[in-house]
Amino acid sequence: MRYLFFVLIMFSNFAGATESYTPKLLVKIVPTYPSQAQTEGIEGEAIVSFDISRTGETQNVKIYSSSPKLVFDASVINAVKKWKFMPIVKNGKSQNLKNYTYRITYNLKYGVSID
C-alpha cells in the first residue's frame, strides 16, 4: 500500500511539471543606451508594460512610466518588441498574459539592466 501511495504522489507531481504560470524570458534583447543620453550624462529608468501571447510573443508594448520622460522610451520599446517568452501553460493550454511589467535601468557606470 505504501508503494502505491508513493507512486501516486510521484505521478501527481510529474503531471504538473509542464505547467508554467510564471513567464520565462527565452530571448532577451538588451535595450541600447541612447547615444545622446550617454553623451549628456543622463541616467534613468523606464517601466515597460506588455502582454505575452499564447506563442510567447510580446504585444501591446508601452511605457508605463519613465524618468526622465521620453529619453529611453524608444530604446526600451524597440528591444522589448523582440523579446520571446516560453508560453504560459495552464490546464494543458497555452494562455495569454496581460500587463506584464519590467523595470529597465540606464546607468552610465553599469550600463543597461533589466529587472
Which domain CATH number covers 85? 3.30.2420.10
**57 within some domain:** yes
CA distance 83 to 60: 13
> Which residues constitute the domain of residue 66?
19-114
CA distance 94 to 89: 4
According to DSSP, the β-strands at 97-107 and 88-90 are: unpaired
Question: Count of alpha carbons within 13 Å of 7, Cβ hemisphere only?
Answer: 4
**7 within some domain:** no
Please give the model's pTM, rounded to 2 decimal places: 0.81
**8 within some domain:** no
What's the one-letter identity of residue 37?
Answer: A
**52 within some domain:** yes
Number of residues in the chain: 115
Q: Is the pLDDT of residue 4 over 90?
A: no
Any idea which of 10-14, 78-82, 85-89, 96-100 has the lowest mean pLDDT? 10-14
Per the structure, the count of domains in the chain is 1
CA distance 113 to 22: 20
